[in-house]
Structure 1
Amino acid sequence: MDRMDNFDQVNFGAEPNWTVILTATACGTGALMLFLNWFGHKQSWKKIQRAKARKETSLQRAELAVLQFNESHPETDTSLILSLSLAELSKQLKGGTLTPEAVFHSYVEKTLEVNRRLNCCTEVLLESWDQLEDIGSHKDGLLYGVPVSIKDNIGYKGHDSTCGVICKLDLPATGDSVLVEVLKRQGAIPFVKTNVPQSLLSYDCGNPIYGLTLNPHNPQKTPGGSSGGEGALIGGGGSVLGMGSDIGGSIRIPSSFCGICGFKPTANRLSSRGASSCSRGQKSVLSSFGPMARDVDGLALCMQALLCDHMFRLDPTVPPIPFNQQVYQHSKPLRIGYYENDGYAMPSPSMGRALRETKALLESAGHTLVPFSLPRLSYAMHELVLRGFSGDGCATMLSNLKGGPVDPSLRVQIIPYGLPRTVKKILSILIKPIVSALQVCSIQRGSSVQDLWRQHADVEDYMHEVMAEWRRCELDVLLCPMMGPAYNHNYPGKLTSALSYTIMYNLLNFPAGVVPVSTVTAEDEEELRHYKGNYGDLWDKLYRKAVTGGEGLPVAVQCVALPWQDELCLRFMREVERLFREMKK
């Protein structure tokens, strides 16, 4: 009993020293946090090293396979194969003039060379050699024997779809995405995955895993994003057809920056099943998957191949609407709306000139051009686009960035979202006088389900408002400027305001495509020196710096149609392409 009494006195009778306890707890917690942080970064570094090792192994094995093929097939005319359009390449493959083996190895060889210069690939898909051996069973496919590059986030069995974020490493897809399955069924051979910006929510193209991708026309420039690896590879000649995704211009911007054609279909015209995302569940501004190619006929052939019964069976949520070849091939004159300046972000001199030259060519070809403007554009950008994207305070995107470094191009975009909500409100008041309203709104967020429902209703109302104006003008299609020329590296993250030219058609869910029509001239560069923009604010000054030094770079225009009129949009793109080709003859 005495010992028990003493025990009670020692352990429970004495007054605890809370200072010592709290200090020890704080030190222990701090040490634990430091250890977990160190351990987390160490694990992230190991993941990155494994991903880089997989990439290097695949490149080396692909190079060896190409060398072996070239030794046994010295008669292969690689330069001829690489010069063919997709339509002509497909024709010769089906006719037997070219073999799938020769075409495949020619493009793998060129891809390896382009990747050495531009760092546009994340991994060669070595399983494509197995598919090549069995390609004869798919000779009836519309893309028989055509090598196809695919964006990193498109699922391919056994391979990561990283979206450029570390948390998605070492999570290989358990099966092919619907797009990959349909491509294979149509005889295409997906053979390489291409690089993206971290989180896909940027139109630069670099991430901490695979590094920075360069523009094929000027390494000091970005290829754009988020389908930047696709744009660089196709623009550099390493692929004849690629698949990308577009949530704010992510197909159209790299197509414009790299001098190729790109098409964003109506959302859910093509299946997104099996693809990865860092913003899944966001429904205000819709994402689309679509093709990128050297010419419009290549885009149309890809759409025709994908819009088949096999895709409709694999993903019954996709409307079973086959490609309408009759609409695509129609030649009747069009009534075309146009604008040179959207009133929100003033176009660069080359953008404006490209639009005016396109308008003149279309008028000379017998089409009717009608002035058009998007109603209440500032309201749509501030209240609908930005509030839609940041409805969760960007918590979903930020959760995908945990556990590793943030790419410099993305860091400037996400800094405001990491601040406490009260600080965000104060900051928005303080910086409003010196920056564009878009940047102010981007640090705010909705606060309830009711806010989100109201925002969705507002988007729907705005879509009908725009379509009413479209009908009032009796338009078939719309011609508008396309962002460009390619920016200097690290500027896209600072210039989200420039996205008004592309992201509006994701908000509206209008199909939109890009056609290169010109290049930047010395006169454009001289005019750029006096560029003031629409507001003369910090973002207009940054924009001038972003596009400076672009002489010789591609410049494109954008073609738009109403929802589900994808074939009409492509038909309009083909007409623009035809007119410029004839002008250059």
Structure 2
Amino acid sequence: MQQEAFIVIHEWLKQLWPEAEIDLLHIVLALICGSAAAFLALKWVSQKTIKKQIQEARKKRDLGLEKMEKAVQKFKKQNPSVQAAHILSLPLVKLTEKLREESLSPETVLYAYMEKALTVNQEVNCVRHFIPECEQHLQELKRQTEKGLLYGIPVSIKDHIGYKGHLLTCGFVASLDILEEEDSVLVKVLKRQGANPFVITNVPQSLMTYGCSNSIFGQTVNPFNHRKGPGGSSGGEGALIAGGGSILGFGTDVGGSVRLPSSFCGLCGLKPTGDRLSTLGIKGPVDGILSVTLSLGPMARDVDSLVLCMKALLCDYMFQLDPFVPPMRFNEEVYSSTAPLRIGYYDTDGYFLLPPCMRRAVHETRKLLQGAGHTLIPFTPPSVAYAMDELFIKGLFADGGSTLLTMFGKDIVDPSLKPQVNSLRIPNLVKKVMAKIIKPWFPRFANHLDALCGVRSVQSLWEQHDKVKVYRQKFIDEWRKCKLDVVLCPVLGPAFTLRYPGKLLAAVSSTMLYNVLNFPAGVVPVTTVSEDDEEELQQYQGQYGDPWDKKLKKAVEGAVGLPVAVQCVALPWQEELCLRFMKEVETLSCERRGKKAV
């Protein structure tokens, strides 16, 4: 191979410099081949170093889990009468009551959840690291003069939520040597309210996908079906809570990263308005994006847990720590109101037609809400394709993906992300040419490809920011024209087969819309995939009948019995109204299924 390459280069040089001496040609050839060999050697050394870092990180994780296991066994040996199953069965609101009245101790609750988290992690690989400081925090809880609203509650946090002395990786090897110097505002407020963060959960490499796999800690799977993913990027949170290993967890959402794991794993999740909860101390691989708003939000098994969580977090302490968070405490009056609502609804956004089960869920929920005395009005979200390509994709990848590619260049790309990374690696000129060629046949993919080129200049970025403002106002005008209080709409689901999220970034249109708009949005499970849904899926043609639609069909096949959810939306800063709507949906759905609402 090397000899053939040598001959080709030699002939090329002779054509270039026909009068040159043969010795000079040999020198030039030697330099070229030497440089190539040096490049390959450096790459080999780099890959070897990365693999060594990965092995060390896995070893540290395993040692932490072993320490967690020993702590659990020690506690069980000293307290053989503790009924862990009873503790794990209690909903969050009931558990906080028992802790406050001291019929349960924070120790018993912590070790019950530690043991369960270990079991769940063995099955689905959702825990990135154990937080040993949680045991020390038990002693601090005892010294607190006032018991906070989350007193004694063990909580889980997503990988890139800062905890002092721990890693914040975003699934990248390059971040394995950097320990956080300070707790994030979220962690500080949780501790003040008596909560006890005890594990950090797994995320996908880069966070820019709704899968949950990275080259360091591997693939997290769905606890209900291990061939399916848990969603992402807060996928470790979704899998752990759904498996029973955490009662309350925290994720972030820039395109659906709280709502999609909630949908895939049958949980309730809330994406608040961007600055309703502080994001200080939360770091991503690409910070500073303004076109698409990052939100921090809770995930749990029921709406009451989300409500209690928001009441706890919306406190003076958080407003002091982060003055950019509006000092708006939880509005109990809005949440407790029983006045009938004017609810807009739609079953498709016109950009990505979701599977039959997700659309069925919207219409079944619509009928339940109508029966309960609410007014349901058809609503068409304006220009979703425009919002998806021109605002979301261009905003998220304004630099054409160069910042992310730099990060991937220092790492081993996770196999599930290769299709997504490869599309970013295509030169912008090639993307634009390809987009023009394929647009007559695949207009949706062509527009997406063009959007991945990002923006051309700072002036173009400013114009893009202005377009977001104009679109938000247009959407609100449509909302007010219909005199809506809230909107009911579908969310992507059911859970995807592993590796498909990396091939279908654009399928998140149902959730990304409310990141661009910066509206609060929540997810509530209402039913499960039926045999009839699976049969109807065989006739699914999608919105365009293009390769994306065909991939979506394959991604959701084989989902009978998996959770199906709907999405509930309100206007900015109206989290309490959004939660009130979510609670109404949850109650009615539970009654229909003959299941007692929490």
- Shorter-chain TM-score bucket reads over 0.9
Unaligned runs of 5+ in 1: 1-14
Q: Aligned letter for 1:455? A: Q
Distance in 2 (alpha carbons) for counterparts of 1:497 and 1:404: 25
Distance 1:422 1:355 in 2: 42
Quote the Cα distance in structure 2 between the aligned partners of 1:426 and 1:166.
34
Distance 1:155 1:144 in 2: 21
Once the two structures are superposed, the pairs formed by residues 330-369 of structure 1 within 5 Å of their partners are: 330-369=337-376
| Contact preservation (8 Å) 1:152, 1:163 | yes
Tell me the secondary structure at the aligned position of residue 439 of structure 2.
helix
Find out whether 1:465 has 2:471 as its counterpart. no
> Aligned equivalents of 1:414 and 1:450: distance in 2?
27
1-structure distance, mates of 2:408, 2:147: 44
- Distance in 2 between the 1:444 and 1:55 partners? 38
Aligned to 1:65: 71
- 2:543 is the counterpart of 1:537: no
* CA distance in 1: counterparts of 2:430 and 2:567, whole angstroms: 39
Distance 2:287 2:294 in 1: 10
Checking the alignment, whether the CA contact within 8 Å between 2:294 and 2:515 is kept in structure 1 is yes
Task: Give unpaired runs (5+ residues) of structure 2.
Answer: 1-20
Residue in 1 that maps onto 2:507: 498
Match of 2:46 among 31, 37, 40: 40
Letter in 1 for 2:490: P
State the Cα distance separating 1:282 from its structure 2 match: 1.2
SS in 2 for 1:134: helix
After alignment, is 202-211 or 22-31 more displaced? 22-31
Which residue is equivalent to 1:527?
536
Counterpart of 1:454 in structure 2 is: 463
Alpha-carbon offset, residue 27 of structure 1? 3.1
1:81-230 map, 5 Å: 81-138=87-144, 139-230=146-237
Measured in 1, the distance between the counterparts of 2:488 and 2:69 equals 43
Partner Cα separation in structure 2 for residue 545 and residue 436 of structure 1: 21
Q: CA deviation at 1:150?
A: 0.3
Aligned to 1:12: none
Match of 1:248 in 2: 255
SS in structure 2 at match of 1:401: helix
- How far apart are the structure 1 equivalents of 2:541 and 2:431? 29
Question: What is the deviation of 1:35?
Answer: 2.5
Q: CA deviation at 1:21?
A: 4.3
Could you tell which deviates more after superposition, 494-503 or 208-217?
Answer: 494-503
Deviates more, 1:137-146 or 1:99-108: 137-146
Once residues 561 and 146 of structure 1 are traced to their aligned partners in structure 2, the CA distance between those partners, rounded to angstroms, is: 29
Q: Deviations over 1:304-345 (max 9, x none)?
A: 111111111111121111111221121111110000111111
1:28 equivalent in alignment to 2:34: yes
Contact 1:323 1:567 in 2 (8 A): yes
Compared CA separation, residues 17 and 325, structure 1 to 2 (3 A): farther
Q: TM-score, normalised by structure 2?
A: 0.93
Q: Which amino acid counterpart does residue 77 of structure 2 have in structure 1? A: E
Moved over 6 A (4+): none
Quick one: which amino acid aligns to residue 118 of structure 2?
A: L
Q: CA-to-partner distance for each residue in 1:470-491, whole Å, 9 max, x for gaps? A: 0100000000011111010111
Separation in structure 2 between the aligned mates of residue 249 and residue 272 of structure 1, nearest angstrom: 16
Question: Equivalent residue of 2:409, what SS?
Answer: coil
What code does the residue aligned with 2:134 have? S
Question: 1:153 Cα shift?
Answer: 0.7
Give the aligned partner of residue 18 of structure 2.
Answer: none
**Partners in 1 of 2:569 and 2:450 — Cα distance?**
27
Deviations 1:180-205 (A, max 9, x none): 11111111000001011110000011
Cα offsets for 1:101-129 (capped at 9, x unmatched): 00000000000000000000101111111
Q: Distance in 1 between matches of 2:544 and 2:427?
A: 30
Equivalent of 1:305, from 312, 318, 322?
312
Displacement after TM superposition at 1:245 (Å): 0.3
Maintained 8 Å contact 2:432/2:450:
no
- Counterpart CA distance in 2 for 1:184 and 1:275 is 16
Indicate the SS of the match to 1:216: coil
Aligned equivalents of 2:340, 2:254: Cα separation in 1: 31
Give the match for residue 423 of structure 1: 430
SS state of the match for residue 81, structure 1? helix
Give the deviation of 1:434 after TM superposition: 4.1
What's the counterpart of residue 4 of structure 1?
A: none
Tell me how far apart the structure 1 counterparts of residues 55 and 192 of structure 2 sit (CA, whole Å): 34
Letter in 1 for 2:394: R
| Farther off after superposition, 205-214 or 531-540 | 531-540
Is 1:552 aligned to residue 558 of structure 2? no
Shift of 1:426: 1.9
Cα distance in 2 for residues equivalent to 1:367 and 1:472? 18
- 1:277-320: CA deviations, max 9, x gaps? 01211111111011000101101111111111111111112111
Answer yes or no: is the 8 Å Cα contact 1:516–1:556 preserved in 2. Answer: yes
SS in structure 1 of the partner of residue 47 of structure 2: helix
In the alignment, what sits opposite 2:5?
none
Query: 1 CA distance for matches of 2:352 and 2:233?
Result: 20
1:106 partner letter: A
| Equivalent residue in structure 2 for 1:259, among 262, 266, 275 | 266
1:563 aligned to 2:560? no
Distance in 2 between the 1:348 and 1:28 partners?
55
Q: Which amino acid aligns with 2:434?
A: L
Residue number in structure 1 paired with 2:4: none
CA RMSD of aligned residues (A): 1.5
Count of residue correspondences: 572
The 3-state SS of whatever aligns with 1:558 is strand
Q: Which amino acid aligns with 1:127?
A: E
* Structure 2 residue matching 1:101: 3-state secondary structure: helix
Paired position in structure 1 for 2:81: 75
How do 1:271-420 and structure 2 match up within 5 A? Answer: 271-420=278-427
8 Å CA contact 1:167, 1:402 repeated in 2 = no
TM-score (norm 1): 0.96
Question: 1:19-44 CA distances to partner (integer Å, 9 max, x unpaired)?
Answer: 34433432332233223212211221
